[in-house]
Amino acid sequence: MTSPPLSAPLESVQALLDKGFTLACRTSDVPAMMPRRVLIQGYGLLICRHRMRFLALDELCPHRQKSMMNGLVMGSELICPHHQYHFDITTGRCLSHPCAALSTYETAVAEGAVFVLFPRPPAQTEAPPQTPLGSDD
Ligand code: FES
């Protein structure tokens, strides 16, 4: 009998980019018990390790909007360094207080790097043509 794979098959970098993923960091840049802060499209996110997975969460704690980049990762929990609220890094849910949950983002690993599927801002719609002031056409 064969063992199940530890993680999903890896995709190629190009396949991930084609799906809209963004390069976040190298897997080796993510410490075992601390989040790694990355900037994606100007937003701070935290990449955390949990077993064989890499998870992406909002950087700012919903309690006081402070960065959790110096937080502690213990198992499946991220502990805010400011007032020690605990968050489930697999769901973003706060386990200490009924505050707002952190958003989580889909991740993938390819060629030793972590990629994040971060929602893009809505595409700009083309502005309607404007009639110049004073034009009688
Ligand atoms: S700022 Fe995170 S628990 Fe207060």
Q: What is the pLDDT of residues 47-105, one digit of tens each?
A: 999 998 999 999 999 999 999 999 999 999 999 999 999 999 999 999 998 878 999 99
Q: Compute the distance from residue 12 Cα to the ligand 1 centre, in Å.
A: 38
Q: Which residue of 80, 95, 96 sits with most ligand 1 atoms within 8 Å of its CB, as the best mutation to test the pocket?
A: 80
pTM, two decimal places: 0.81
61 lines ligand 1 (CB under 6 A): yes
What stretch of H or E contains 24? strand 22-26
Whether pLDDT at 5 is above 70: no
Q: Compute the distance from residue 80 Cα to the ligand 1 centre, in Å.
A: 6
Confidence of residue 130 (pLDDT cuts 50, 70, 90): low
Please name the residues in contact with 10: beta carbons below 8 A apart, sequence gap of 6 or more.
109, 110, 111
Using the Cα atoms of residue 20, residue 25, residue 28 and residue 30 in order, give the sign of their dihedral: negative
